[in-house]
Amino acid sequence: MKVFVTGASGYIGGSVAVRLVQAGHAVRGLIRDPSRADELRAFGIEPVVGTLADHDVLAREAQAADAVINAASSDDRGAADALIAALTGSGKSLIHTSGSSIVGDEAMGEPSERVFEEGAPFTPEPDKEARIALDDAILAAPGVRSIVLCNTLIYGDALGPKARSVQLPRLIDQARASGKAPYIGRGLNRWSNVHIADVADLYLLALEKAPDGLFAFVESGEASYLEMAQAIGEALGLPAASLDKDAAVALWGREMAVFGLGSNSRVRGHRARDLGWAPHRPSVIDWIKTQVR
């Protein structure tokens, strides 16, 4: 199958693209930096130079492919609309990457008992309404086999081109810079999480087997930020230490501090497992302790 992947030099997109190549698919991948073209080719990915703002490039590649995986952004509505328009009525597959901060709160380190099931109604924080509207637009695309995979906190080393995940590297970098492994507030906020290799396996499985209109949370466990900070500290030989809200926002910005590192995002992904997905990589705590050092 010919598959067009956006974000092919990124953490999710690059890992998914490599997994597709390993499975025998022909992959063309969108990259912003032409100097990284040979890096992609080394993994069997044919580079397409452009950005999500190049809607004509997105349309051309989508129409030439058998399937499209949008892994570059969960929030770029213009790019999503361009892909939808190019694929409308084609019957082709469009897999879109969302993120479970859609159910996030503004707890700033405080715990929550709320656990979100797929399909259950909920009221998002205003910051996340646009992302949910984008997910809904993908799923409503006419004449398109649409799938939304809503990832949780992803950890592990990239399978493809050099790239890092969003959340844990910020904590690890700050721990090394400051000498203390940080968490926000009391650090009792919890996030569901999943290893990048298990994520890549699911994208391949979804491409091959998922029904039209599938929305699936992608998770294989959960941990608190205090537990993750303590594991980082143990791996690096450093103490864990709390940051207050203002210091966290100043350090990482509101979006990351509030919704990426200070919130609760606890979900359960039954639909992926119904497809036959069986995540089996080490837990996030075990991975931190063995790999971060």
Chain segment 80-105, per-residue pLDDT in tens: 999 999 999 999 999 999 999 999 99
DSSP alpha helices (H): ranges in the chain?
Answer: 11-22, 37-42, 55-64, 77-87, 129-139, 168-178, 196-209, 225-236, 245-252, 254, 270-274, 284-287
Which tokens is 1 given?
């199958």
Residue ranges of domains in the chain: 2-108+117-156+193-219
- The pLDDT value given to residue 293: 82
Distance set, CA 261 to CA 25, 132, 181, 203 (Å): 36, 20, 13, 25
**Whole-model pTM?**
0.97
Residue 58 and residue 79 in contact, taking contact as beta carbons nearer than 8 Å: yes
- CATH architecture observed for domain 2-108+117-156+193-219: 3-Layer(aba) Sandwich (3.40)
The whole-angstrom distance between residue 265's C-alpha and the CA centroid of its chain comes to 13
Chain segment 172-206, per-residue pLDDT in tens: 999 999 999 999 999 999 999 999 999 999 999 99
Contacts of residue 234, defined as CB under 8 A and 6 or more positions apart, other chains included, come to 289
Residue numbers of the chain with a pLDDT score lower than 50: none
